Amino acid sequence: MICLSFFSGCKNSKTISENQSKKEIQTTPKILFLNYSIEKTSNVKRSIQFINKKIVEGKLKPNRLDSLENGIKGDLIFTELDKKSKVLNQILIKNPLIRTVEYLDDSKQFQTKIIKSDKTQFSVRLQLKSDTKYITISNFAKNDPLIKTQIN
């Protein structure tokens, strides 16, 4: 009887420690890196192709993100969705086909130049929520999804 209670006591503590380690694994913060290419297909339309994703352990530092109110035509809306397509988070992505570059001119003065391209690659980095199942990228003006990426 003493041996039986000893073995059952060991078994319960092992189960408890396994459950605790599973919770720790599930609550470990993760960062999601997504890479896409975007191409201008006509004067109004664009196509986006998924390149790859990487999920790593870690936590992002809080930073200022552009709010959706500051969006203009050409910008993109990045949306996190759960398995029932409920919106978890939305981020504004400034138009990746337009870049602003600063440089020094011949008189050593800073100048700004806007570079427009028809094709480029862009990355999105975010703190991954445990409920996130899909990522969509949409046009800001029309909010019509250009691409939907499944996460796990």
Tell whether 105 is covered by a domain. Answer: yes
Tell whether 23 is covered by a domain. Answer: no
pLDDT value, residue 58: 92
Q: Give CA–CA dist 122/34, Å, rounded.
A: 9
Tell whether 8 is covered by a domain. Answer: no
Domain that holds residue 124: 28-150
pLDDT digits (tens, 9 = 90+) for 110-130: 999 999 999 999 999 989 888
pLDDT value, residue 99: 92
Residues 58/29, Cβ–Cβ less than 8 Å? yes
For the domain that residue 130 is a member of, what is the CATH number?
A: 2.60.40
Tell whether 7 is covered by a domain. Answer: no
Tell whether 126 is covered by a domain. Answer: yes
Tell whether 3 is covered by a domain. Answer: no
Q: Does 65 or 25 have the greater pLDDT score?
A: 65
pLDDT digits (tens, 9 = 90+) for 12-61: 444 445 555 444 445 789 999 999 999 998 776 889 999 999 999 999 88
Tell whether 46 is covered by a domain. Answer: yes
Tell whether 38 is covered by a domain. Answer: yes
Question: How many domains would you assign to the chain?
Answer: 1
